[in-house]
Chains A and B, each alone.
Chain A
Amino acid sequence: MSVGARSGNGPFAAESVPGPITGPLPDTATGSAFLGSVIAERSVVVCCGSGGVGKTTTAAVLGREAARRGRRVVVVTIDPARRLADALGLAGGLGPDPVRVTLADERPATTDGPDDSSGSRDAGELWAMMLDPEEMFARVIADHASDPDQVARITANRFAQTIAGSLSGTLEYMATEALYRLHGDERFDLVVVDTPPSRQALDFLDAPGVLIRFLDHRVFRLLMVPTRRGLGVLNTAAQPILRAIGRIVGSDVLADAVTFFQAFAGMEAGFRERARRVDALLHDERTAYVLVASPRFDTVDEAVWFAHQLERHGIPVTAAVINRAHPVIGTGDEVHARRRADEARAADEGRLGDLWGVLADLRAVAAAELAEVAPLGAVTTQMVRVPLLATDVHDAAGLDELGTYLVGEIGA
């Protein structure tokens, strides 16, 4: 085990030259026919799990495979890694509005004439967008405001910007809002959502009500009591509390907050109705929930926790994806390989010992991983294992390979 420090300059291991890695993986997978049927039939797929488990990539691959199977798909990602946009072929990156992604195996659109639609009638489409919470917040406000002036007053407010950017749950709320809008958009028949990394005590399923609960807060209710003399004078019941807040955070900050809540007057009913509809969509039987985890206890815990949240809402887990699982090689176990390594070394066959040692290490990890993911077996019978690839996924070929592991080949 090589552990040590070095300066930032100079080669790390001169004898190893990185190069392209090709060839088959030491693992066989045919993908999940069940997951294939999910992306073929459902109208919403929500991918959930903790950060760093490949959730965004999984969402992109599911969307891509659904499009290759003829569906008109939009994938909503939260802060996608630059490489993912590259892998999808989106040189300009992703924006707050859906952009069309060209599938690698897609035939170029025919230019022969508007009537020649044979061959493209059943072709799917892949679109992708990146959630911009502040932009989405502005759009939500615009939906419910009575006039452009109200929109301007709210979005220009510093407190509103804070809420859009950092209120706990806002990102999830905006994700459900985006989901709702895209679901109603006739261009698409499948919406795949990559949820924000879940944070403590926060529930994607409760997200539609975030702003409602915020507005229901008793302090805000005090602030929002209509004042007789307009914006300048506050409800007297709120004064002592407001003074206290003002002394702590400063009066400018407080003034922004007060202005914000007053600007909200009259919009509550609209927000409540929208929250109810989004909630209904999240509970719809055509909405699928795919848990994504890596084979480590912490991410498995998180996925199981999410499964319990779903259960609390009476929603079944559709499937679970275990990403980046080490390959299972051969049928023997670690102990056997370790013993063979020792025997080889004892017989002065150092290189054979090395080979058995590497196999033993890989088997140890694979076995430990199986034990780590066991709790997920209790929440779903549909588990799909995607092996850790020998290379980083950074292009269409890599996404294709993941697609094969997730849902198999088309027509297979």
Chain B
Amino acid sequence: MGGSDSLALLTAARVVIVAGKGGVGKSTVTAVLARAAARRGHRVLVVELDDKPALSRLIPDLEVRTIVAADALEEYLRDHGFARIAQRLAATGVIDVVGTAAPGIDDLVVLGKIKHLERSGAYDLIVVDGPAAGHAITMLGSAVGILEAVGSGPVRTQAIEVLEMLRDARRCQVVLVTIAETTPVNELVETAFALEDRVGVQLGPVIVNGLAAVPAWLDDDAMVAAVIADMRDAGRIDEQEARDLGAAAAFAAARHRLQVGELERLAELLPLPLVGLAALPVAGVDAVGIDRLADAFGAVES
């Protein structure tokens, strides 16, 4: 399966919620998907849920919107015939109380806002830089929770509509992100099952970020040692260089073996397609890095 096909799979629904454990590169994946889809001519909106400027730095020319629960709740109340109450609630700070009184209502109104944007038809693809894995279950489960707790009223209606979106594979899917290491893989598998069981949301391909690109022959320790010895004996490298090259090869091969093992384990544990994303030889990804990663998803149209 080529890069273009995997992009099609990843953008099969209008709303793509990117979720994963902290540190696995959720924002990077969000930016890469948005960039790749925009190159195909899609009208793309990126949504972030906390007010960190990272995303606009990665994709400076794409539309990025921050949705904060308190604002979304106020807006929701205003749009649903509670304009005067909303004003009053905001003025007295009661909005916090509403959020606390009905567990999950803050998450629900954020999802409601995303649903509203999806329904507006202004975008072909909305990529959401979602919450950390644990919170993803809470957040996406908020609609189910509200339906159980709230018997009537506008909040219940909102929960029903959000759940309709979450359970419609054409409208929404969750793309889980991990790195090929033991703990993140375990947590991803747990999250995947919890999301399917509790929310019933469609899971898209799993993105495995930060894969080391290592020439296959480096896996053969004896071969590496022989090549280095030959080159040293031929005077192409000195003793110190031989040690450095050996250390680099050993480290890269060991990390690679670990990753391959984890990829195999992930494939066994989870019946979802896997999409690999290469590690860039940099510490933090920037806009240029996002462009390079997006190249992997096929043709550039510009």
What residues make up the interface of A, taking CB atoms closer than 8 Å to B? 1-13, 15-19, 21, 23, 25-26, 50-53, 79, 81-84, 158-159, 162-163, 165-167, 197, 199-200, 217-220, 241, 244-245, 247-250, 252-254, 256-257, 294-299, 327, 329-330, 332, 344, 349, 351-352, 354-362, 364-365, 368-369, 371-372, 388, 390-392, 394
Contact = CB atoms under 8 A, between A and B. Distances in A.
Contacts of B296: 1, 3-4
A83 B186 contact: yes
Given A6-B274, A241-B88, A355-B228, A21 B257 contact: yes
A89 B276 CA distance: 33
Contacts of B237: 352
B249 A8 contact: no
Contacts of B152: 250
A326 to B, nearest CB: 8
B213 A8 contact: no
Given A19-B257, A351-B227, A248 B98 contact: yes
B272 to A, nearest CB: 6
Interface in B77-100: 77, 82, 85, 88-89, 92-94, 96-98, 100
B182 interface: yes
Nearest to B27: A298
Given A16-B257, A257-B101, A26 B92 contact: no
B97 A217 contact: yes
B117 interface: no
Interface string B191-202: 000000000000
B277 interface: yes
B258 A18 contact: yes
Interface residues of B, number: 100
B123 interface: no
B278 A11 contact: no
24 contacts: A2-B278, A6-B274, A8-B272, A12-B264, A15-B216, A18-B261, A21-B258, A26-B251, A50-B23, A52-B22, A52-B23, A165-B103, A218-B93, A220-B97, A244-B82, A248-B98, A252-B149, A296-B283, A332-B244, A352-B227, A354-B218, A355-B249, A392-B181, A392-B182
Contact of B282 (A3, A356, A365): A365
A3 B23 contact: no
Contacts of A217: 93, 96-97
B155 A249 contact: yes
8 interchain residue pairs of minimum CB distance: A52-B23, A51-B22, A18-B261, A26-B247, A52-B22, A5-B6, A390-B254, A330-B244
B32 to A, nearest CB: 10
